Amino acid sequence: MSEKKTKRRDFLFTATTAVGAVGAAAVVWPMIDQMNPDASVKALASTEVDVSSLTPGNTLTVLWRGKPVFIRRRTQEEIDEARNVKMEDLIHPEKDEDRAKNPEWLVMLGVCTHLGCVPLNDKGDYNGWFCPCHGSHYDTSGRIRKGPAPWNMEVPKYEFVDANTIKIG
Amino acid sequence: MSDHDYRPKSKVGQWFNDRLPLLTLANHLTDYPTPKNLNYWWTFGGILTFCLITQIVTGLTLAMHYIAHADMAFESVEHIMRDVNYGWLIRYIHANGASMFFLAVYIHIFRSLFYGSYKSPREIIWILGIIIYLLMMAAAFMGYVLPWGQMSFWGATVITNLFSAIPLVGEGIVTWLWGGYSVDNPTLTRFFTLHYLIPFLILGLVVLHIWALHVPGNNNPVGIDIKKPSKDTVPFHPYIVIKDGFALLMFMIVFAFFVFYAPNILGHADNYIEANPMVTPAHIVPEWYLLPFYAILRSVPDKLLGVVAMLSAILILAVLPWLDTSKIRSAVFRPLYKQFYWILVADVLILGYVGAMPAEGLYLLIARVATAYYFLHFLVILPVLGFKEKTLPVPLSITEPVLGGSPNLAAARNKESKIE
C-alpha cells in the first residue's frame, strides 16, 4: 500500500467491474421497462364524445384510458358559484376560468386525487363531488375543498371538434 | 447437539449419507432438543407451515382453471365455483385459508411479543418473520385482486395509488405498476404472476426462519437460556410433534367451520359484482387482517404522511429487538410490561374495528388516539420500561419453578437424577 502504482491487474479488475456493471444495467432495464404502458395501451390515447344530448345540470361519464372522465354541462348558478370563490379559500388554488375555458363545460378526470376512487356527482358540502372512499369534497369546478385529497381533479387535454363533439386526449 | 455423532445404522444409509447428509438433517430435526415447558402458543409455527402448504396446493389447483384476463377472470372464478369438480371447495379453502393464515400469524407474532422471543440472540429469526409477514400481505392483496370483482378492482386502485404519494416520481411509479393509465388487464396479469411467485419466496424464507431458530433453539414461557440437551428439554419427536399435531387438529376445526358453514363471512359482498371502472363501491374496506393499518392510514389527514405512518407501523416491528431495552424476555417476570402488552393488544383490536368503520366523527378521533398510542408503545414506553421497571426474580432453570413449591420436591429431584 505504501507505493501507489497502478498495476496491470488493478486495471483489469476495474475494467471488468465497469463492463460488468454496464452489462447488468443493460439487461435489467428491459426487464423493468416491459412493465410500463405498452404500444397498444398508448395507442388508445384519444376518444371522441358526442355531447349533444347533455342538458345543463347534467353529467356524462365516459371512459378514457381506463379512467372515467366527467363531462358536466354546468348551470349558470354553478358557474357563478365556482367563479366567486376566493383563491385563499382553496387548498390547491386554480381559477375556474383556467379549468373551464368554455364556462358551460367542465371536463375533468373523474378520479379522486387521494387514492383514485370515482367521486359521486351532486354530493358533498360544496355542491360538486364527494368521494365516498375517504371523504374528499370537491366544488362545482372540481376543486378540492375539504378532505385528504391533495389536488383538484385533473383537467385532461381536450378540444371541441365541432359544437357537439369533444375530443379527449 | 448430537448431530456430529449421528451415523445411519444401515450400510445403504451410510453410503447415501456420506454423499448427501439428508439423514443427518432428518436426525437433527427429530432429535432437536425443545424446552419441555412450551405451551400451546408455541404450536402456531407448525400451524403456519400447514397454512402455507394448504395455500400452495389449493393455489396450484385453482391456477389450472383460472384465467388471468380482465374480460374472463370474473367468469372463470364463477366457472370454478359452479362447474369445476369440487371447485367450490378448493376456492373456499384458498380464500378462507388466507384469513386462517393471518389469524395464525397474528397469534404467532403476539406470542413472540409476550414472551420476548424477538430478543437477543433471536433477532434474525424475528426480522425474517417480519419479511415473511410483509410478503404475506403482498400475496394476500394481489390474490384478492384476481377474482376481478368490485372490491378487487377498487382495492387494487386504492393500494397502488398509495405510491402516488411519493414526491416527484410517484405518478410514474403508479403508471409503471399498472402498465397503463388505470388498473386494467396488464395489472391483472402481473399481479397473477407475482401472486404465484410470492408463496415460494415465503417458503424459502420459512426455511431460513427455521434454520435461524435451530441455532439458539426455541425461546420458552420462562424466557431463560437453557442447556441443550438437558433435563429442561425434550426431543422434538415425538413430544412436540404430538402436541403440534393436536393443536393443528383444533385449528382445522375452526378452519373447517369457516369453509363449510360461513365461507363468505370474512369476504365482502361487493366482490361478487364484476369490476367496473366507472363506479366505486360506497364503502371500500380491505380484508379484516389489514384493517389496523388501514385505520392508521386514514387517521392522518395528509396523503404522504398517512402512507408514511402506515408503512412505519409495520417496519417499526423490524427494529423492535433494539427498541425493547429490557434484558428479561418473558412478560411473566415483567409486571409493568405485561399490562402495557395487553393495552397494545386492545389498541390493535380497536384500530382494526375503526378501520372497518367510516373515517369520520368519533371513529376518526378514536383512530387518531389509537394510532398515537401504537407508536407511543414502541418508541417511548418500551425503551423507557427497560430502565424503569422492577422485574421479578427469574428462575435458573425450567425445572425450578415447576418443583419450587412442591412438597414432593425431594422425591422429584431424586427421580430426575435417576433418569439422568
Q: Verify whether residue A134 is a known catalytic residue.
A: yes
Rounded average pLDDT over B192-217 = 97
Q: Write out chain B residues lying below 8 Å of A151, CB-based.
A: none
From the CB of residue B174, how many other CB atoms can be counted at a distance below 10 Å?
Answer: 21
Contact of A20 with A9, CB cutoff 8 Å: no
Q: What is the pLDDT of residue B413?
A: 54
* pLDDT tier for residue B315 given thresholds of 50, 70 and 90: very high
| Shortest alpha-carbon distance between residue A12 and chain B (Å) | 37
Q: Write out chain A residues lying below 8 Å of B190, CB-based.
A: 35
- Higher pLDDT: B199 or B158? It is B199
Interface contact B177-A35, CB threshold 8 A: yes
* Cell matching residue B76: 372463470
Among partner residues A61, A115, A134, which is closest to B359 by beta-carbon distance? A134
Is residue B228 predicted with pLDDT exceeding 90? Answer: no
Q: How far is Cα of residue B256 from the mean position of the Cα atoms in its chain?
A: 20
Interface contact B180-A133, CB threshold 8 A: no
Is residue B415 predicted with pLDDT exceeding 70? Answer: no
CA distance B385 to B334: 10
**Range with lowest mean pLDDT among A125-139, B38-52, B142-156:** A125-139
CA distance B246 to A99: 67
Q: Which residue of A has its CA nearest to B172?
A: A36
Is residue B414 predicted with pLDDT exceeding 90? Answer: no
* pLDDT tier for residue B420 given thresholds of 50, 70 and 90: very low
* pLDDT tier for residue B2 given thresholds of 50, 70 and 90: very low
- Residue of B137, B148, B141 whose CA lies nearest to B66: B148
**Range with lowest mean pLDDT among A84-88, B43-47, B332-336, B401-405:** B401-405
Give me the catalytic one of A92, A114, A134, A137.
Answer: A134
pLDDT in tens, A1-59: 556 778 899 999 999 999 999 999 999 999 999 999 999 888 877 888 898 888 888 99
Q: What is the pLDDT of residue B59?
A: 98
| Shortest alpha-carbon distance between residue B300 and chain A (Å) | 8
Q: Which residue of B has its CA nearest to A109?
A: B278
Among partner residues B158, B277, B359, which is closest to A68 by beta-carbon distance? B277
* pLDDT tier for residue B301 given thresholds of 50, 70 and 90: confident
Give the ipTM of the model, two decimals please: 0.80
Cβ neighbours for B158, distance < 8 A, ≥ 6 positions apart: A115, A116, A117, A133, B284
* pLDDT tier for residue B401 given thresholds of 50, 70 and 90: low
Among partner residues B162, B175, B277, which is closest to A63 by beta-carbon distance? B277
pLDDT in tens, B174-201: 999 999 999 999 999 999 999 999 999 9
Radius of gyration of chain B (CA): 24
Q: What is the pLDDT of residue B83?
A: 97
Mean of per-residue pLDDT scores for chain B: 93
